[in-house]
Amino acid sequence: MAKGVIRYWAAAKAAAGVPEEPYQADTLAEVLRNAGRARGEEFRRVLERSSFLVDGRPVGTRPHAGVELSDGAVVEVLPPFAGG
């Protein structure tokens, strides 16, 4: 099982109550499922609207269960940003 860090930005950070935390998971889907269970419904709604980076690379529309994580990977949660 890979160990890494998940970082929260903007509304995700506010909903999580922390800027980042460690994770242990093999896929992005597992990281998000575990984080959602720990944080509650408001946080899960933010995750549903967010996009994700893994080691600085966009996940895009790839299924999260197919995004494998390696040891030391950084997952970033980017909620939609207002303005422009």
Class of domain 2-61+73-78: alpha beta
Contacts of 28 (CB under 8 A, 6+ apart): 52, 54, 59, 64, 65, 67, 69, 75
- pLDDT reported for residue 81: 78
Q: Which residue blocks in 1-83 are alpha helix, DSSP H?
A: 11-16, 28-39, 41-49
Domain boundaries, the chain: 2-61+73-78
Six-digit token pair at 49?
């609207």
How many helices (H) and strands (E) would you count in the chain? 3, 5
Residue-wise pLDDT tens digits, 13-66: 999 999 999 999 999 999 999 999 999 899 999 999 999 999 999 999 999 999
Can you tell me whether residue 57 is helix, strand or coil? strand
For residue 22, the cross-strand partners are 5
Q: What are phi and psi of 61, to 5 degrees?
A: -95, 5
